């Protein structure tokens, strides 16, 4: 290695300074003159799968198509049609081993090459399950406030029961419904039942996703009303607490069945644009439903920025709310639990 002299350091400093000046000049050049009307960029609302399919139809670059489908499969790993398409794209790119692996994923998730076999979706009525954590020392003829706990994607109601136990609220009835769709692959691999409310793993078409949200919210409403009829519940309106995907559905339930919701708590909540939750938050202001938003700063599953989106929607809608950010990952810390516990004591009456 050559000896680094003061001259070398000076030259390097000059290069860096020139680069910084050029960067500032580019930023200044990008700022429109005063009085100029700036047209905001259009938001591309297509899913990664839709982008890939459109590119295939236009005979676009296969490498780009593969990247889009790979990202899609990370989000929806059990989509058989996308796995099959990705296998074909890999084949055209000469990636034989990747093509075989993608084809294996397609077969495992129900793909069939027989064109006579097609899959359709229709509404279905069936019974669902919910679990209840009762107060340890219940007294006859007394009633208790009820709190509805909604699980995250790939979790179970047992996980929410554990959350309820950790709150140590012996004056509350906790009702924990299972999400309506069983995740087969995750259940088999973990040897435990895993559920979701989004229908992922069933290959549901994108155009049906808004209805999936409606039906899942309806199921949670049915569980809530059934529990009110069967259990010694005192509160007319229920506090709904949701974790991750359940956080999204706590708001979906509150904006669709506002008359039965007293308050909402979200924990590291996800958000699906097709659920039209942010657009309907105004109804919570109309009915006076307050919201507590909690989210971990270092959440590796649902980005912290998602909570900022939710809070921004609440502010714009004029909804009474509180925002609590905490250090941690994708699960409430003891500090966050204390904040939620106090919220429930204040509103679940």
pLDDT tens, residue by residue, 45-63:
688 998 999 999 988 899 9
Segment 93-108 shows an average pLDDT of: 88
Q: Which pLDDT does position 19 carry in this prediction?
A: 44
Q: What is the dihedral of CA 47, 51, 53, 56, to 10 degrees?
A: -170
pLDDT of residue 23 exceeding 60: no
Q: What CA–CA distance (Å, rounded) separates 152 from 167?
A: 18
CB 87 within 8 A of CB 104: no
Tokens representing 330 are: 């994708």
Segment 181-198 shows an average pLDDT of: 86
Mean pLDDT computed over every residue of the chain: 87
Share of the chain above pLDDT 90, in %: 62
Indicate the pLDDT class of residue 125, thresholds 50, 70 and 90. Answer: confident
For 163-178, the pLDDT digits (tens) are 999 999 989 999 999 9
Indicate the pLDDT class of residue 27, thresholds 50, 70 and 90. Answer: low
Q: What CA–CA distance (Å, rounded) separates 207 from 28?
A: 42
**Beta-carbon neighbour count of residue 124 at 10 Å?**
7
CA 293 centroid distance within chain:
14
Indicate the pLDDT class of residue 307, thresholds 50, 70 and 90. Answer: very high
Residue predicted with more confidence, 214 or 5? 214
pLDDT of residue 10 exceeding 80: no
Segment 207-234 shows an average pLDDT of: 95
Segment 225-249 shows an average pLDDT of: 95
Segment 105-124 shows an average pLDDT of: 80
Task: Set out the domains of the chain in order of their start, with CATH numbers.
Answer: 48-108 (1.25.40), 130-347 (3.40.50.1820)
Q: What CA–CA distance (Å, rounded) separates 72 from 52?
A: 9
Q: What CA–CA distance (Å, rounded) separates 29 from 244?
A: 42
Within 8 A by CB and 6+ apart from 98, the residues are 90
Surface-to-core class of residue 196, CB atoms within 10 Å of its CB (0-12 exposed, 13-18 middle, 19+ buried): buried
């Amino acid at each position: 290695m050559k000896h680094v002299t003061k001259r070398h350091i000076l030259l390097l400093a000059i290069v860096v300074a020139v680069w910084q000046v050029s960067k500032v000049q580019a930023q200044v050049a990008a700022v429109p003159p005063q009085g100029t009307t700036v047209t905001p960029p259009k938001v591309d609302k297509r899913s990664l799968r839709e982008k890939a399919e459109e590119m295939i139809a236009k005979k676009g670059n296969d490498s780009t198509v593969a990247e889009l489908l790979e990202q899609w499969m990370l989000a929806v790993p059990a989509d058989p049609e996308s796995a099959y398409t990705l296998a074909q794209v890999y084949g055209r790119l000469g990636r034989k081993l990747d093509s075989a692996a993608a084809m294996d994923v397609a077969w495992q998730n129900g793909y069939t090459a027989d064109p006579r076999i097609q899959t359709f979706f229709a509404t279905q009525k069936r019974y669902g399950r919910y679990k209840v954590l009762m107060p340890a020392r219940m007294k006859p003829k007394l009633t208790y406030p009820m709190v509805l706990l909604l699980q995250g994607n790939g979790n179970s109601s047992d996980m929410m029961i554990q959350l309820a136990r950790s709150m140590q609220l012996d004056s509350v009835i906790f009702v924990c419904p299972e999400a309506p769709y069983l995740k087969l692959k995750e259940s088999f691999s973990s040897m435990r039942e895993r559920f979701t409310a989004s229908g992922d793993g069933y290959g549901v078409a994108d155009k049906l996703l808004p209805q999936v949200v409606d039906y899942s919210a309806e199921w949670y409403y049915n569980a809530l009303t059934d529990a009110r009829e069967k259990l010694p519940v005192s509160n007319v309106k229920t506090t709904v607490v949701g974790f991750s995907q359940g956080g999204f559905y706590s708001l979906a339930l509150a904006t669709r069945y506002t008359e039965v919701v007293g308050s909402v708590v979200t924990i590291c909540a996800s958000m699906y644009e097709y659920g039209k939750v942010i657009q309907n938050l105004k109804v919570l202001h109309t009915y006076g439903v307050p919201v507590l938003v909690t989210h971990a700063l270092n959440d590796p599953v649902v980005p912290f920025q998602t909570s900022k989106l939710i809070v921004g929607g609440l502010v714009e809608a004029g909804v009474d709310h509180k925002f609590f950010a905490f250090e941690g990952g994708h699960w409430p810390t003891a500090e966050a639990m204390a904040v939620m516990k106090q919220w429930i004591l204040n509103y679940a009456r």
